[in-house]
Structures are given as structure tokens and as C-alpha cells.
Homo-oligomer: A and B are copies of this chain.
Amino acid sequence: MTDTPTARLDAQIDFLKETDKLKSIDRATRLIGNGRFENSAEHSWHIMLHALVLADQAGPGVDIDRVLKMLLLHDIVEIDAGDAPIHGQVDHAAMAAKEEAAAQRLFGLLPADQAESFLTLWREFEAAETPDAQFAKAIDRFQSPVINLENGGGSWDDYNVTLAQMETRVGAPISRGAPGLWAWLQPKLAAFFARRTS
């Protein structure tokens, strides 16, 4: 039981068991038509489905297979660092340090080659500089507004969000990675927030 293939598999399965905890990390968004908060594991599944279905919204240099892997891994750090709601008050530098430590501990449970490759892919997502990461970020930002529109407000009410805040926090990253999705979403947001403030 101490030969290398077994030790490798033991480490991989320890990591997989640890990541079960992502199912207990709640986000600010609720399910459609359901009072329950969405957790980060089911959210990760749903945005991967968004990325696959909306792949034709990605720019020409984007590799959807890499995007899916980024989205598969992107929220695992929340097991240690928690979810930072986009409309909440967050110390971004402190949160980034906490997430980096979480990534090192959690991916560090894996064999060294996988730990390194997962860390690299997660850091690429966080940096949002490559076309793949920018599309992944756009998709990650796109899902919650669609749900909130469907729920008639949702986390926008909990956080007193304005259209101007939506343009900055959501519009900017979606425009960068998937401009067609922002063109679809923006008029719906404008109409919703106009009704709400009138």
C-alpha cells in the first residue's frame, strides 16, 4: 500500500473527498423560483453548462475545453476562503491573499504535477488576462443576473444594487469576454432597474 501508484491515488481521492465541502458553500444568489441559496458546487456545474452552450459567443482564440476546466476548478478556493458576493463589501487585497493560500492548501493535497497545473490554471482565471480566462469570467458573471431577472430582483434587493453598479461590476467583465451576451443582457437590466426606481 505504499508503492507510488497507490500513494498517488490515495492523495487524489483525499483531494476529491475534501472538495465535497464546496457543496456546503452558499452564494448570494437563489435558485430560480426557490428560496434556497445556490451553492458553489452546483453553480460551477451550471456555469460550465453556460460555457458549453454559449461557446459561439467566445472570441476566435478561445479554447472551450480549457474554459470548462477553469470553471470546474475556479470556486474550489471558497472551501477555505468562503464566497465573496460581488455586491458585498470586500477588502479585495485581503480576499486575494486568502484565496491564494486556499489554492495552495487545497490543490496542494494533489500529487505535485497536478497541484502545479491546477494552480496555474486557477491563477490564469483569476488574472483574467488571457482570452480563455476573460470568456470564463464573462460566463461566471452572466449567470446570476439572468437568475435575478427571473426571480424579480433576488440578491440585487438584498444588496441594494443599482444599474450603474451593474454596468461596472458585471457589464465590464461580460463585455470584455463575451460582448454578445452583454448586448443581450443590458437592455433587460435597463428595463428592470427603470421599472424598479419609477
| Interface residues, chain A, with chain B CB atoms under 8 Å away | 5-6, 9, 12-13, 15-17, 19-24, 31-32, 34, 38-39, 41-42, 44-46, 48-50, 52-54, 57, 65, 68-69, 72-73, 110, 114, 143, 146-147, 150, 180-181, 184
Contact = CB atoms under 8 A, between A and B. Distances in A.
A42 B15 contact: no
A19 B54 CA distance: 14
5 contacts: A6-B184, A12-B54, A16-B143, A16-B146, A68-B69
A34 B25 CA distance: 13
Nearest to A34: B24
Q: Which of A41, A48, A68 has the most CB of B within 10 A?
A: A41
B48 A72 contact: yes
A137 to B, nearest CB: 17
Contacts of A22: 42, 45
A150 B17 contact: yes
Given A16-B50, A42-B42, A52-B72, 10 more contacts: A6-B184, A17-B146, A20-B147, A23-B31, A23-B42, A23-B46, A45-B48, A65-B65, A68-B69, A68-B72
